[in-house]
Amino acid sequence: MARSIVRNLVTGGAGFLGSHLVDYLMQSGDEVICLDNYFTGTKKNIYKWINHPRFELIRHDVTEPIRLEADRIWHLACPASPVHYQFNPIKTAKTSFLGTYNMLGLARRLNARILLASTSEVYGDPEVHPQSEEYRGSVNPIGIRSCYDEGKRIAETLCFDYQRMHNTQIRVMRIFNTYGPRMLPNDGRVVSNFIVQALQGKSLTLYGDGSQTRSFCYVDDLIEGMVRFMNSDFTGPINIGNPDEFTILKLAELVRCAINPSLTIEMKKLPADDPLRRQPVINLAKQKLNWEPCISLETGLIKTIDYFKNVL
């Protein structure tokens, strides 16, 4: 018997992760409503689907309520780069709280399943390493990252309260640092910064001494994990990320070697509250979703560098 077409609402669908998700859903034959206010997203990312009969594009800000019909809500709308979420921190907090509140209200009315793109930032500057889902985190509630970290924490809280009070079908996904094609050249996150700087022959801006760590997941792996999670019976929270941990200095060296080994590294001040270490435990994703990432940082960097070579 033919599978019935699913109506997907993707908030933040014109952004980096959202547009890759839109591609995946369109290619699987489903309907997609892409909703975005274009703060950090761009129409270019989803241009190829405009005029497609299964695709609709809505310019809308998730801090305002909206009425439409969907079976599944993928709630990604929120700036993710520290540079962008700190540009207007009050707006970021509103987007996290009111945006998630509005989308949960919509999910409740429609009896739709809703996936929240939460973040490893809910663990803050972690005292426990690596981070599993049971760890409750160490977040500074009044720092420059709080609008985002605490915003996502209250967004998670709202999801679980909607589940407890209204039986809303929630999926809470904690995404660890993800990179790949369609990050903006001025995104401000480390992978795109280093690649763009190296391609332009500039020194790489290393914040602090570069001993802080992150674990980088290539976007295709991430989207596969996201789709498996939405299709599963598991509510979460669940970590989705690549457990291979690198210092930021090592990342700078990898990018420099791949593009131009003669480039220099310029040390800059470490921003306040910058987490020292970050690495996901992904046992839950392996067990519940039979998922683990398969693209190494070296391979993913080459794909991302190729993308930026075309863009710049």
Of 150, 72, 143, nearest in space to 113 by CA: 72
**303, 197 in Cβ contact below 8 A?**
no
37 binds, among ligand UDP, ligand NAD, none (CB under 5 to 8 A by kind): ligand NAD
41 binds, among ligand NAD, ligand UDP, none (CB under 5 to 8 A by kind): ligand NAD
207 binds, among ligand NAD, ligand UDP, none (CB under 5 to 8 A by kind): ligand UDP
Among 177, 178, 239, 304, binds ligand UDP (CB under 6 A): 177
Q: Does residue 140 belong to the site contacting ligand UDP (CB under 6 A)? A: no
Positions marked active-site: 148
Shortest Cβ 152–ligand UDP spacing (Å): 12
Within 10 Å of residue 47's Cβ, how many Cβ atoms? 12
Among 171, 189, 256, 277, binds ligand UDP (CB under 6 A): 189
Shortest Cβ 190–ligand UDP spacing (Å): 4
- Per residue in 237-254, is it b (16+ CB within 10 Å) or e — as a string? bbbbbbbebbebbebbbb
Distances (CA, A) of 130 to 138, 249, 276, 290: 13, 19, 12, 20
Shortest Cβ 4–ligand NAD spacing (Å): 28
Among 22, 184, 248, 301, binds ligand UDP (CB under 6 A): 248
Give the per-residue contact string, 61-100, with ligand UDP (x = CB under 6 A; - = no): --------------------xx------------------
Within 10 Å of residue 129's Cβ, how many Cβ atoms? 14
Q: Where do we find the tokens 């890759």?
A: 20
Could you list the residues that contact ligand UDP (CB under 6 A)?
Answer: 81-82, 177, 189-190, 193, 205-207, 212, 214, 248, 270-271, 274
